[in-house]
Amino acid sequence: ILNVEQSPQSLHVQEGDSTNFTCSFPSSNFYALHWYRWETAKSPEALFVMTLNGDEKKKGRISATLNTKEGYSYLYIKGSQPEDSATYLCAFTNSGYALNFGKGTSLLVTP
């Protein structure tokens, strides 16, 4: 089992705030890093798959960066909206097969 750490565990921001969270993973034998968004009572939904050091991906107001040499990825949300409230999961694989998930960062955005 590979240790994937996410911080903070939870976050509460006001509508319009920008925020970011961190995913830390083993820096050796990197294969891919995934980000998923998981809303309450739904199933996880893929945001990004990142494979190269220095990768930056963007989807609307959400973006992510990747540093494989030091073993971390940041997820940024610009101008948070209440509909962004969800748990954000990152998952790492060094084999190309099994994904090792972190416990997630739970984001609450209030109007």
Going through the chain in order, the beta strands assigned E by DSSP cover: 5-7, 10-14, 19-24, 32-38, 45-50, 56-59, 62-67, 72-77, 86-93, 100-101, 105-110
Contact pick of 11, 21, 25, 44 for other proteins (by CB under 8 A): 44
Q: Does 91 bind other proteins (CB under 8 A)?
A: yes
Instruction: Quote the least distance from Cβ 32 to other proteins, whole Å.
Output: 4
- Map residues 6-35 to x or -, x wherever contact with other proteins holds by CB under 8 A: -------------------------xx-x-
Q: Does 89 bind other proteins (CB under 8 A)?
A: yes
